[in-house]
Amino acid sequence: MSESPLPIVRTVADLRARVAGWRAAGERVALVPTMGALHEGHLSLVRLAGRQADRTVASIFVNPTQFGPSEDFDAYPRGEARDAALLADAGCDLLFAPTVAEMYPAGFATKVSVTGVSEPLDGAARPGHFDGVATVVTKLLLQCAPDVAVFGEKDYQQLQVIRRLARDLDIPVEIVGGATARAEDGLALSSRNAYLSPEERVIAGRLNGVLRESVNRLKAGEAVAGVEADALAALAAAGFQTVDYVEVRDAEDLARLGPGPALGPARILAAARIGRTRLIDNMAV
């Protein structure tokens, strides 16, 4: 078997030992948590982390607690050797790839649950999802104790949930959001895009266009309620089978806005399904 292009640790003890060595040398450490199946979006986060710190750790852990019983945990794409090579190329220094038993040993009984910001949108569509995310991210932040942790803006609600938990639990880490990487037609890069058939991929490309048109109308002062209703109709007309939500929300706490014009920082967020693929996207207003 060929050697991995970057060091891999699988236990919290080994992770802490590596990070302690860097800290002893006065180095600043960044963490980029992922579930693997890496694409340019993840790699842009690794490069962003590299500009914020002397050392970058990436984690790959397909976290079972954030998947619902009918979701794609078993089918979720996995390929550690390919991911490790991509991470090494992007300047990552260490891969933390724990087992489920390392992260959730027998008797594990603690849950981190963020109220408010985690409740609407994906929180409503995917019950328990954000508890799973909040719990595993809290663990990763405590295990690695990075100075900075980088998450993609593509999962905007997740980013806001993580910002909230880091503040609320006094975890001494700076949470940084990285811009969404997009394909040429604007489709947000996602590991789940691999599930799309060629026909579905064409439909998927319309999601960001609908959001972009909505943002332009909101910026021109149009009422939230009308823009949301038109976006919903446009997604259905484009061929999305179900739209879980397309909503304009407060950019910070994701509270409901409208029905009038969006005043102050806002974000439009959408989740829609084609075939077996659920896509999410969002944009600043």
Footprint of ligand PAF on residues 57-76 (CB under 6 A)? Answer: 63, 66
Q: Which residue has the tokens 């982390």?
A: 49
Q: Report how far residue 136's alpha carbon sits from residue 274's, in angstroms, rounded to the nearest whole number.
A: 28
Q: Indicate which single residue of 6, 15, 33, 203 sits in contact with ligand PAF (rule: CB under 6 A).
A: 33
**39 catalytically annotated:** no
Q: Segment near ligand PAF (CB under 6 A), from 3-11, 29-37, 112-120, 231-239?
A: 29-37
Q: Does 155 bind ligand PAF (CB under 6 A)?
A: yes
Q: Report how far residue 68's alpha carbon sits from residue 74's, in angstroms, rounded to the nearest whole number.
A: 11
* 9, 144 Cβ separation under 8 angstroms: no
Cβ distance to ligand PAF smaller for residue 19 or 133 = 133
Residue type, 187: L
Q: Which residue has the tokens 């938990």?
A: 165
Q: Report how far residue 277's alpha carbon sits from residue 285's, in angstroms, rounded to the nearest whole number.
A: 26
Q: Does 136 bind ligand PAF (CB under 6 A)?
A: yes
Of the residues 42, 129, 164, 249, only one is catalytic, namely 42
Q: Does 274 bind ligand PAF (CB under 6 A)?
A: no
Q: Report how far residue 41's alpha carbon sits from residue 226's, in angstroms, rounded to the nearest whole number.
A: 32
Q: Does 137 bind ligand PAF (CB under 6 A)?
A: yes
Q: Which residue has the tokens 């691999």?
A: 194
Cβ distance to ligand PAF smaller for residue 114 or 234 = 114
Taking residues 157 to 186 in sequence order and writing x for each that binds ligand PAF by CB under 6 A, - otherwise, the string is -x----------------------------
Q: Which residue has the tokens 């078993």?
A: 74
Binding footprint of ligand PAF on the chain (CB under 6 A): 33-35, 63, 66, 133, 136-137, 155, 158
